[in-house]
Structure formats: structure tokens, C-alpha cells
Structure 1
Amino acid sequence: MRTTAVLSKNNFARVFRTVWKNVVSVGLSRAPIELHERVQLSNQIAASLIAFGSLYVLIYHAFGLTLLANLILISVLGSSGVLALNYAGHNLAARYWQSYVFTLSIVIFSAALGPKSGTSLLMCPALAVVFLNFTAREKRSLIFILVTTSMIAIASDFRLVNAKPLLEFPEFYFPWLRVAAHAATFALLAIELFIFMNANEKSRRAAESSSQLTNEILDAVSDSFIYVNRDYKIQYLNPNGQKIFDALGFKTGIGLDFLEISLKYETGDHCARLREAIMNQIPYHEEYFETLMNCWFEVRSNPGPLGCSISYRDVSVRKTAEQQLIHSSKMSSLGEMAGAIAHEINNPMTIIQLSAEQLEISAMDEVVDGEEVAKVSARISETVTRITKIIRGLKNFSRNSDDDPMIATPIKTLIEDTVGLCQERFKNKGIELRVADAVSASILCRPTEVSQVLLNLMGNAFDAIEQRAGQRWVELATSTKLSESGTLISFRVTDCGEGIPEEVAKRILEPFFTTKGVGKGTGLGLSISKGIIETHGGRLYLDRSAKNTTFVVELKTVEASVVSSELAS
């Protein structure tokens, strides 16, 4: 073959600079195509192959190897397809295309030049492209591409080892072709390594920037934030988190074993529950009163692949507001029931008055009928007991129960106190109040709060059916059932309504949501009731499967031995 053109050193340098400037810049992050990191890496590889291939096209054209230069040009055009696919948004297809085009190009070069040319060495950078294009997360794509390209490389190597090259060259060309193949292999591997290290450095800087931003955000929040690793060692805590350890006498919390600190300075059962959640890698959320600091805290823990994040929030202001709302709700309920309760007390007082007059008349008789006196006295005693129950219910209901301890309370007592406060209201409006026999069980609770919840549910049922035509009734029933955590007591408040619309049912327990008219409800009753039951370790929900409108309160029962010890004390 003869040389068709000779490039001067200056012309070659000028052409190469032009190619590099106009082609490589397309693949770099300065390109107008905003793509994610892996696609930018693919573009950079494609741009490098285009620039490097264009250089070899110019060199081989200069030395008269036109056919070889044209083969390389085809490979360059194939790499240009990568940029086009990425620009069109077909990112995965672009990476597949790049891996196969590079490998098949090497196979074609090997077939054209034969094994003496050393072009099979270029399979090394070709396989490296596969690893650069696909991450370990893309296991299927990585394995598929790696296996298929390796099979192509191995098959072509076996096929071409003794095959006659498609292009014939004088023997003196082969040492130079081998040098060019070795140089291209080394240069491409170096370029790929540079691209990978550059991308890795960008990722590292981006991760550091993201971490710094996260730390700045966490430092600014008012919550106390702590992060522990898989060995339960504290890796990070914000300034408010450090205040906890300052109060405990530690200069820093970093490096301390969170579980050991929690066990050593345990202030309640919530500490044990938090430790258990962290060790079992399950989310945890609880509100508790911290006696040492005399305030309410909300604690959350969220497990992750590398550790667990824990946050503490002072919710004392909110808890105070909630308690005020609860008390206001109770007073509002008492106001609504005032007339009915007055009537409920007035009737027994009338009975007592009439009985007293009857005794007075009997005392004037010459002969006093002892049996009649005993009968009237018993009626007075029974009526006084009835009034006493009403007054006890009012007293218990109206008082502030925030500081009350949890006590074992019979279900029957809760039912009697609740019904005693509302039965006259139902009677006056002609609404039948059905009270099923209470189950023989007790629950650990604050009786006033549970009675408030039941009274609120019954009041809601009353309001819902007050204007309803036909037979009207509200039922309060109790039952027990077994669960994984033990025996549960269910209070079911059912009215004659035919259920609640789905769009209302979805929001019925939300704060400030109400279907009552203006001035008839605040929308806080059910949400407050839900919060009260949850602090008792139970749940309040709308039974959507029931035929009639039914709200259910579920609480755990206590053993008979606990009830006996409570009564003895």
C-alpha cells in the first residue's frame, strides 16, 4: 500500500485539538444535556472513544491505511449513537449499545487484521466499559452484559486465532499495528480510569455536600437528634442532642453506647421499650412524662440499613393545651347534660319529700305501723343511693384527672357511672337506651377519662339520631376477646343509624372534623377520645363492617389478683 496523505505535525495537532474540543465536550458534565451521574459517565466514555477513534482515523488515513481507518470510523459513529440515545432519554439502551458496539468493533478489527495485529488486547478496555456502565445495584444487566460480551470475546478469539485476516498488509506493518494496539489499550484503560476516578471524586464531594447540608438542617431543628450505628454506638447528635449528655455529665455523646446509657439512666418503662425497638430494628413512637425534667417528651426511632435515628421532642406545651381541651370538652358535655341531670336529681328528691311527709303523717297516728315505716325508709335509702351515684358521677367527671394513677376498675362501675349521667337525657327525648349486662372483668385505667370517652360516644350517637323519625335507640354493650397481647374488653356504642358515608368515615377521627351544625360541635370530641384511649394502650375505631353505626373501644383487661390488691389497698 502507498501513503495517500501526509499530515504535518502542526496540522495533526490542530485537527486533534478541534476534535477533542468539539466532541469530548458533548459527553462532559458541561454539556447542555442534564443527566444523572451514570449517564454522564456513559457520555464521557462515548466522547473519549469518539475523540480517540477520530485520532486513529486521521493517523491511518495519513499512512494510507484507508480501509482500516474506515472501520474505525464506523466504530466512532457507533459511539456517537450512545450520545444520541442518551439525549433522547433512552439511557439504559445507550449503555447496552455502548457495551456491545465497543466489543463488536474489537471483534471486527481482529477479524480484519488477524491475531498478529494484537487488537484482541482491546477487549480489556471493552470489558472495563461494562463495569463503568452498570453498577452493582443493576445486577441483572451487569451479569447479562458481562456474560454475553465475554462469550463474544472468547468465541472470536477461538475463531480468529488461526484464521486468515480479511485485510492483507505487508509484514512490516504488523509490528507497528501491535504497537498501536498496545498504545490504544493502555490509553483507553488510562482514560477509563481517569473518568471513573473523576466521577468517583464528584460523587464523594456530592455526598460530603449532602451530608454537610443534612447536618446543618439537623443542627437547626429544635428536636434532640441522635444517630447510632449497628453496634449501637452514637455516631452523630445535634446540639440539642448533646444537651442530654451534658445534663448526664458527659463532655460528648459521640462514641458512647446508647443502649448502655439508656439502661444506666433509665427513668421508666419507655426506656426498655425504646431499647427493644432499636435492637429489633422496628419503628418506635411514644409520648411519656419525664419525671427528672418535669416535662413531656415525644420519642421516635426509625431503623435504617446502617443504624437507627432517634429523636426527642419536648411536647409539654402541646400536652398542656390538650389537657385544657379535654377539660373544656368535659365542661361542654356537662353543660349539655345539665338540664337532664337536674331532672334526674329532682325526681328522687320529690320521692324523698313525699316519703318524708308520709312518715310524718304516720308518726301522728296513735299506733305506728312498723312495716310501713320500714318500707318508706327503704324507699328513701334507695333514692338517696341513686342520687349519690349521680353526684359521684358528676364529681368524678368534672374533676381534673391528669395526675390520677391507673387503677383496676370493674367494667360494671364504668358503665353505671356513664349511664347515670346520660340516661335521663335519652329518656326526655324518647330515645331508648339499651344497656347490656356488663362483663365480669376489670381494666387498668383512669376511670374518669374512660367514662368521658364512653359519654362522648353516646352523646354523638344521641345527636346523630335525635331528629330521626321512627324507632330510635342507642346501645352500650361489652364483650371480651382473646388476642396475642392478652384478653381485650370491647365497649361497643351502637345507634340505629345505618352507618357513616365513606368520605366522612375516613376523617371522622381527625381533629376539628365535624358533621354537626355551627355551635353544636368543635370536632375535637372523637380525636380527644382517641388520644385518651391510646394513652391507655388501647384503640378507638369505627366498625365499618357493622350493620348500624358502631364505635368500638378496646382495652386490655387485668387479672383478678390485681383487682383484689387494689380493693385491699
Structure 2
Amino acid sequence: MNCNITKILIVDDVMINLVILEAMLKSQDVEIHKATSGEQAINLIARNDFALMLLDVHMPEMDGFDTLEKISNFYPQKIIPTILVTATITDILSVVKGYEKGAVDYLVKPLNPVIVKKKVQVFIDLHKQKKHQENLATELQKEIIIREKTEQELRKSKHQFESLSQNSPDIIYTLDKNGRINYVNPAWTEILGHSKSEIMGRDFTDFAKPKDIQRYRRLFRQIRDEGKTFRDISGELIHKDGTIRHFILSGAQNQNDKDSAPGMVGLLKDTTTQQKLQAQLLHSQKMEAIGNMAGGIAHDFNNLLQAIQGYAELLLITKASGKKQNQEISEIKKAAQRGAALTQQLLTFSRKAEINFRPVNLNLEVESVHKLLLRTIPKMIEIKLDLQKDISYISADPGRIEQIIMNLGVNARDAVNDEGTINILTSNVILDDKFCRENTGSVPGEYVLFEISDSGEGIPEEVVEHIFEPFFTTKEAGKGTGLGLAIVYGIVKNHQGYITCQSRLGVGTTFRIYFPTIKCTEAFEEKPRELQTKGGTETILLVDDEEQVLQIGSRVLSKFGYNVLQASNGDEAIEIYKNKFSEIKIIILDMIMPKMGGRQCLNEILKINPEAKVIISSGFSADKTDESDISRLIKGFIHKPYEVKYLLATIREVLDGPVCSESDSLYN
């Protein structure tokens, strides 16, 4: 046998792990010995001189720590550098214990061949140097050199551990037998804000919430007195500024040489950002579900209002009643219109309301609403404006933007009561990746920020969580519908924006809204639409699954001279159109119907006659995902519940000539 061959011992109870390690280390001048248990390793050490031992930590019967201890007891003269092989780098407790038992380094599974070879090569070189020295010096000199080299490697390994602790993103701490802190790494200051002098010697529970103190003390006693080890325990600690940070806690006994009673060594992994993102995601999903439900309710309610408003208008048109009855009918119509306004608010929240986008200068909208707020807010309340002069343009509906500013302004007024300050700010901002990682739903890019803050009493944390939900209100009965902030939320989402609410009791509340910018040099001016309410003699196909909407629509259109055909579903409409498409001049089509929906029905109609003139009638505007396609296929859109004059005007515009261009469409 070649006396220059270096022997390495690898110990693991899993054979495949031994095979993998052997393959990584195999070379001409290395002889690999394998052991599948601590006992077998001890027997091999008795008969061989190993340059290095790679020792698995977790083995049945005799684990790595016990193996190291027995080797030390049985063969104190043999110094075998030992690299622990552990399952995970977060098992800091195992690493600390391994160093205490005599290990000089560690490897983490799954093993990286490059790292394994480099670390092993260090000890192979060390062993060769040792042999060389043994050939040049006496046995005593050899022993001294070996011990010095080993101590150097040990100090180096300890230095590596200290470096790991100093640079760890997680908090590493130790407590004495009384639960007082006697070591923390710099991560504590970075995460919780306290300097080292503010921490050392203090009880760990000084940084806990009152409700958690007894829980932490109970865990500590179980670790100290019963030797238990805890991993992945959820907990909270108080930051220096008073905010709460969330952690995953691990802990185990830590024997102190100066004290007979053990203390505790542990790890704190900060999960505050992760929990915040999870809460934001759940809230976003909840708001989406509530929005879908609100949109469905509003759509069905609009059909009912259409029938009420239509019959009221029909009675007024016929003028068959007396003056008193006409007044009563007008009140019915007004009530229906108020109901329609309420459903419009629900549709706005659910993001199914009709939005007319155009280039908007946010400063102009703020200044316009500011004048109105000055007339409605008590003079004891000061409104301060801080508007960036070169503000970018946004794509928005001016009416909706004014609604946002007014709703938030009135909320701020109520929060301030009779005296205080309301600050309104606009500025160009850039949302970076860091902001978007911490705020679920936001997208990186250039935005215009609208911020409104008040000096009021603030909002409790448990209320802020529900503040954008429809019908949620803290006001007295009769003093608010609970839709104001829900509408703001819906409008912001419709504008592809992002909204936040921050509030502290005794300090006040701040709302921040981020609108994506567009490239534009001037705002858009809308031209008023002239309505023509004359009738006609053409044949109209009216398609709607609501019987009352069909009946009132037929009566109104017949009253103005039109010939009306009715279909209560898509299949029936297609059958009628197949037989009479040459005489049908226009189709009024409901979008939401059971079985064959309006979109599918529209496609089938256009297959029969690509030139068919179709007006969409719906309780909410078209789905934004289909918006561009639908606007090319239809000739007009009318929103339920509609007044007779708008229905008649839209029909005449379609029949008498091209409706507004796609850029003027109600879908834009």
C-alpha cells in the first residue's frame, strides 16, 4: 500500500449518501473509508490514521455528537478534524453544539461538490504537511505542530461561525439561566431598532406584548428545566418605535461554563413583511369577491328599476291622469332614479360602471373641488394645498376623480370635527420594485400621487382593515351609507391605480392614491351630446330575459311608432332574426342572459348579417377584457335604467347614420 495515500473517513447511516460523498472525493491519493454508524466509525479510528472525518449529525442509536464525545474519550491522543454534515443551515443549534463537541467546520445538505472538495482539500493539505513535518522532526515536535495547526483551524472555524452570526439576517441570541439576554447579533438592532446597550442584561420578555409574557416564560422554563427544544414557534416582539414585528422562534438549551444551570440559545426569523403581504392578498381577494357580488345585485336591481321608471315615463307621456296623479307618477320616477343612483354606486365599487377616460390634469380637478370644499367645510378647518406644478397627465374620468376628492375631503372634515387641518398634496412619483413587493397589487412605474391627510383623532387598526368594504361605517344610523370609501376604492381600481390608508390614533389619517401617468400635453374637452327624441316606423328586435323590461320597452317603442318584435333569450332571438332579418332594422340586445349570453348572441347575429345594427343594453358596462372587440361590433350602448329620451335618441342615431366613432364611444 502506498504510504502517501491520505485516508478520509465518511460516516452516514444512509448508504446512498456515502456513495455520493465517495464519488465527490475519489482521487488517486485519497483512500475513502466508510462507516454507517458511530460505533463502526470508532472501530475504524482505532485501526487507522485519518486525515479528516465527515460526520453526519443525525443518525439512529448514536448521533454525531455522541460519536464525537466517545472518540474524544476513547482516543484522546488522536486528533481527527471533523466536518459536520447537517440537514439545513438554519439548524444553528446543531452547529453550535457541534463546535462544543470538537467539530471544526460544517457542510449543508444537499452537498455542493465544489464546496466539499475545497473544504476537504484544506484538510488533505494539512494532513500532508503534518506527515512531512513528522519525517523531519521528533515525535514531540510532530505533536506540537499538529496541535498548533489544529488549533489554528479550530480558531478559523470559530471565526467563521462568528462571521456567520454577525452577518446573519436572522436574530441569534442567548439568555442566561434567569432569562436575561447576554448575547445578540447585529440583526436585532436592524430589525427591532434597539442598540446593544439597550438590550444586554434585560429580560427577554421586556420586549414582548403583555399578553405574550407568560407564554414566553413558560417556553423558557421548559427549555431550561426540561431540556426541550422548540422550532417554528410564532411570536411577536415590540420594535423600539412601538410597532409590532412578527417572528418565527426557535430555542434550545445553552450550557454556560460559568453557571451550572443552562440558559437558552435561539433564533428569531422576521416574518413581518411576509405576513403583511399575505394579509394584503387576502384583503384584495375579499374585496374582489364583494365587488362581484355587488355588481350582480346592481345588475338585477337595474332591470327592476328599468320597469318602474319605464312605466312611470309611459304614464307621463300618455297624460291620461290628472295633475295630482302626474305629480305622484313623477315622484315614482324620481324614486326610481334615486335607486338607479344607488346601484350606480355599487357598480362603481364593483368596477363594472361606465368610465369615460380622457387625459386629465389632476391639479385642475383638485383646485375645482377645493373651491367647493371651501364653501362646505367650516372656516375653523384649514385646507392646505401643495400641488406640484409640472404634474403629469393621467388617463381618467374627470367626474370620477372629482368624486374621489370630494368623498375623501368630506371624510377628512368629519374626522377633524370643528377645528384642525386638511392637507392635500399632488406629486410625480416612481413606484419601485421594493414598494411593490411590500404592497400587493401595485405595479412598478411612473405615477401621479394624490394624498389627503387630516389632523383628526385617527382610526383604530381593526377599523382600517374594513374601511373600503361597502356598507361598512362607524357613523350613527342615518348619517352615512357606508359606500363613500367603497366607491373611492372601486374608482381607483377602475383607473388601474393603487390606494393606501394609514392612520394612528391621536395623530390623524392619510389616504394615498397612485394614478399611472400617460404621455400627453393637454387635457380633453368633452362636447355635449344633442338628443333627438323623435320616433319612427322601423322594425326593432328587443331581446331581454326580464319580462317586465320587454313589456315596457315594447309599449314605449310602439307608442313612438316602431314595430317591435320580442325575444326573451338568445336562442329565440336568433330564430326570429333568421326568419325576419331583412325587415329588422335594429336589435336592442341585453348582455346578461341565461343559456346563450348577449356576447354569443351578438356573434351569431353577425354571422347571419355582418351589417346588422346592434345596440347593447346592460345593467353595467361591458367587461373591460372584451371592450375593444365589442366596440367594433356594435353601433351603440345604453345603460339601464335608461330614460325614454336616451333610448329614442340612441335608436335614431344608429338608424339615421353612423354613431360616434370608436374614440368617442361610451366604452372609451
Report the TM-score when normalising by structure 1: 0.33
Q: Which has the higher contact order (CA 8 A, sep 6+)?
A: 2
Decide which structure has the larger Cα Rg and report it. 1
Compare the two structures and name the one with the higher helix fraction.
1
Compare the two structures and name the one with the higher strand fraction.
2
